[in-house]
Amino acid sequence: MRVLTGLSLFFACAASAGPFDRRLVQILYNYKDDAHVEKIAKILSVAKAHGYTGVVFASSVGLGDIHRWDAKRLERFLSAKRLCDEAGLEIGVGVWSIGYAKESFFTVDPNLAAASPVFGTVYRLTGGRCVHVPNPPRELLVEPCEIHSPRQEGDVATLRVSVKPQRSYRLRITASSDASARPEWPIAANVRRIGAKADYIEYRVFKVKTDGSKQTFELFFPSLDESEITVECRGYNRIYPGAVRIRSLELAETEPQLVLRRSGTPVAVRNAKTGKMFVEGVDYAEIPKAKHVWPGPWVKEKFAIVPLKGGAMREGDELVADCYCSFPVWGKWVSACMAAPELDPILEQSAAKIAELVNPRLWVLSFDEVRAGGGCQDCRKHGDMAHAYAALCTKCMRIVRKHRPDADIYVWNDLVDPHALQDDGKNAQMYSSMKGVWDLLPPDLGIGYWTYGPREEGMKYFSERGRRQLVCAYYDEKELKRSIEWMDLARRTPGVTGIMYCTWGDNWDLLGAFGDKVRENED
The mean pLDDT value for 329-342 works out to 94
Confidence class of residue 1 from pLDDT cuts 50, 70 and 90? Answer: very low
In single-letter form, the type of residue at position 172 comes to R
pLDDT (tens digit, 9 = 90+) per residue, 355-383? 999 999 999 999 999 999 999 999 999 99
**Each residue's pLDDT tens digit, 435-493:** 999 999 999 999 999 999 999 999 999 999 999 999 999 999 999 999 999 999 999 99
Task: Report the range of poorest mean pLDDT among 138-147, 287-296, 491-500.
Answer: 287-296
- What is the band of 17 on the pLDDT scale with cuts at 50, 70, 90? very low
- Strands (E) across 311-370 are located at 318-325, 362-365
Cα–Cα distance measured from residue 438 to residue 185, given in angstroms and rounded to the nearest whole number: 43
- Dump the DSSP string for 61-105: G-GGGGGG--HHHHHHHHHHHHHHHHTT-EEEEEE--STTGGGTT
Query: What does the pLDDT read at residue 239?
Result: 65
Greatest Cα pair distance, the chain, in angstroms, is: 83
Question: Does residue 421 register a pLDDT over 50?
Answer: yes
| Sequence-distant (≥ 6) Cβ neighbours of residue 291 within 8 angstroms | 110, 301
- Which pLDDT does position 158 carry in this prediction? 83
- How far from chain centre, in Å, is Cα 464? 29
Query: Are the C-beta atoms of residues 304 and 130 closer than 8 Å to each other?
Result: yes
Q: What is the mean pLDDT of residues 166-188?
A: 91
3-class SS letters over 204-255:
EEEEEECCCCCEEEEEEEECCCCCEEEEEEEECCCCCCEEEEEEEEEEEEEC
Look at residue 238 in the predicted model and tell me its pLDDT: 63
The CA angle 76-79-85, to the nearest 5 degrees, is 150
Q: What is the C-alpha separation between 407 and 273, in angstroms, rounded?
A: 58
β partners of residue 125: 130
Look at residue 241 and tell me whether its pLDDT is greater than 90.
Answer: no
d(CA 58, CA 383): 31
The Cα–Cα gap between 426 and 415 comes to 10
Q: What percent of the chain has pLDDT over 90?
A: 83
pLDDT at position 295 is 56
Classify strands 318-325 and 54-57 as parallel, antiparallel or unpaired.
unpaired
Mean pLDDT, range 249-268, rounded to an integer: 96
**How many C-beta atoms surround the C-beta of residue 96 within 10 A?**
27
Task: List beta partners, residue 218.
Answer: 172
Residue 5 has pLDDT above 70, yes or no: no
How confident is the model at residue 13, as a pLDDT? 42
pLDDT of 189 higher than 90: yes
- φ/ψ region of 299 (left if φ > 0, alpha if ψ in -120 to 50, else beta) reads alpha
Q: CB of 62 within 8 A of CB of 30?
A: yes
Q: Which helix (H) or strand (E) holds 120?
A: strand 116-126
DSSP 59: G
Q: Are 93 and 362 in contact (CB under 8 A)?
A: yes
Minimum mean pLDDT range among 15-19, 76-80, 300-304: 15-19
CA 376, CA 324: separation in Å to the nearest integer?
A: 7
Helix, strand, coil percentages, rounded to 5, for the chain: 25, 30, 45
* Of 302 and 373, more confident: 373
Give Cβ neighbours of residue 344 (< 8 Å, ≥ 6 apart). 395
Q: In this structure, are residues 302 and 256 in contact, taking their beta carbons and an 8 Å threshold?
A: yes
Q: Are 248 and 173 in contact (CB under 8 A)?
A: yes
Residue 222 contacts residue 118 (beta carbons within 8 Å): yes
- H-helix or E-strand spanning residue 187: strand 184-193
Q: Left (φ > 0), alpha (ψ -120 to 50) or beta: where does 166 sit?
A: left
Residue type, 514: F
- CA 296 from centre of chain: 16
Quick one: angle between helices 35-49 and 511-522, nearest 10?
30
Report CA-CA distances (Å) from 433 to 340, 371, 430, 513.
Answer: 18, 11, 7, 41
Q: Which residues contact 143 (CB under 8 A, 6 or more apart)?
A: none
Confidence of residue 102 (pLDDT cuts 50, 70, 90): confident
**DSSP 3-state assignment of 56?**
strand
pLDDT mean across residues, the chain = 92
Name residue 257's amino acid: Q
Q: What are the CA-CA distances from residue 41 to residues 84, 457, 472, 500 (Å)?
A: 9, 38, 22, 18
Predicted pLDDT of residue 366: 96
Q: Quick count: other Cβ atoms within 10 Å of Cβ 216?
A: 12
CA distances from 485 to 23, 51, 396 (A): 16, 19, 32
What count of other Cβ atoms lies within 10 Å of the Cβ of residue 49? 13
In Å, what is the CA distance from 496 to each residue of 13, 130, 185, 488? 7, 60, 46, 11
Res 338: pLDDT: 97
Residue 134 · residue 251 · CB < 8 Å: no
H/E stretch holding 167 reads none
Higher pLDDT pick, 13 / 420? 420
**Taking a C-beta distance cutoff of 8 angstroms, is the pair 177, 210 a contact?**
yes
Q: What percent of the chain has pLDDT over 70?
A: 94
